[in-house]
Amino acid sequence: MRKVLLSALITVSAFGVMAQNPKKVDSKTSAKKTSVTSAASKKSTSKATWKTGGMISLTLAQGGSRNWAPGGERFVMATNGFLNLFANQTKGKWNWNSMMDANFGMMKTDKFGTVKNDDKLELTSKWTREVGTPSAKGINRYRLGLTTNFRTQFADGYDFDGEQNKRISSFLAPGILVVSPGLDYVEVKNFNVHFSPFAGRWILVPNRPYELGPNYGVKSSQEVKNEFGSYLSVGYSGEIMKNVSLRTRLDVYSNYMDKKPGNMDVYFTNMLYLKVNKCIGLVYSFDLQYDDDTKIFGYNKNATGTQLKSILGVGLSCKF
């Protein structure tokens, strides 16, 4: 954009000088200069620009009790790793934004031994084009394009509420894929709203044996459940004050093919990062989700429920 403005300024200045100069200017020379300036301007607007970065953090947390009347674990030690990467490309009116979130954590307790306390792999990609007229501030408020999101986990998950540990999830069990063509609102800096009235959603459980499928609404004889409905995603990613960054996103999906489309699936993810110095930072992660297809809760382990997870840790952190 700066190159475009500079080219336009040079062109306007050249015309101003020629208008004030009584000396006759050759028409061929003037046309040639104008043609060169126009070509340079077009070249600068079509050039793709990239912006990349991310955050990596390794945190520790410890707790314990001894002869503590309210009760509690005698010893708890947890370590968590967080990785966030993004790559954004802009070329003219086209935008391609991609992001990856990978979290994993382990916790050692006296009662259960070593178990995981965090496990997430999420990939998001947006391919959009600016549409409509810019606002009074010269900002393109709307973009039309395609948004894709995929979520799963790295390792097996277990239910420890019983005499024997029961496996309830695994890599690609489930895997949730959303493909959503729709409209994005991007006028406010670092804030994005995406909506689509016709988005596809697939719940994947392709790993064998298929005993995990019914936990997530997939029939035991199948590997995938197809859904079609509306999708709303509202997100913010930026610095809210000096050395404090926030990434938050709320996804809501309504399945038209369900008998009760009003039972919406909700996914709310947040990460707060506080920079202490160049190498040390504080990370707080909070996730909430409700999926009407996930029925592994309650007394009989066949009911839906609101899922909550939070992690707070201090450790080595680096933003780049």
Contacts of 62 (CB under 8 A, 6+ apart): 76, 77, 78
Beta bridge partners of 91: 94
The per-residue pLDDT for range 160-195, each reduced to its tens digit, is: 887 788 899 999 999 999 999 999 999 999 999 999
Give the whole-number percent of the chain exceeding pLDDT 90: 63
From 192, 301, 178, 286, select the one nearest 238 (Cα to Cα): 192
Is the confidence at residue 27, as pLDDT, over 50? no
Which fold is adopted by the domain 50-319? Answer: Outer membrane phospholipase (ompla); Chain C (2.40.230)
Separation CA 143–CA 127 (nearest Å): 9
Mean pLDDT: which of 19-33, 68-82, 244-258 is highest?
244-258
SS (H, E, C) 269-297: EEEEEEECCCCEEEEEEEEEEECCCCCCE
Beta bridge partners of 100: 85, 123
> What is the crossing angle of helices 2-20 and 27-46, to 10°?
170
Separation CA 148–CA 196 (nearest Å): 12
Separation CA 234–CA 269 (nearest Å): 11
Is the confidence at residue 215, as pLDDT, over 60? yes
The per-residue pLDDT for range 235-291, each reduced to its tens digit, is: 999 999 999 999 999 999 999 999 888 889 999 999 999 999 989 999 999 999 999
Sign of the C-alpha dihedral computed for residues 244, 290, 196 and 94 taken in this order: positive
Q: How confident is the model at residue 4 (pLDDT cuts 50, 70, 90)?
A: very low
Separation CA 187–CA 197 (nearest Å): 21
Separation CA 52–CA 98 (nearest Å): 10
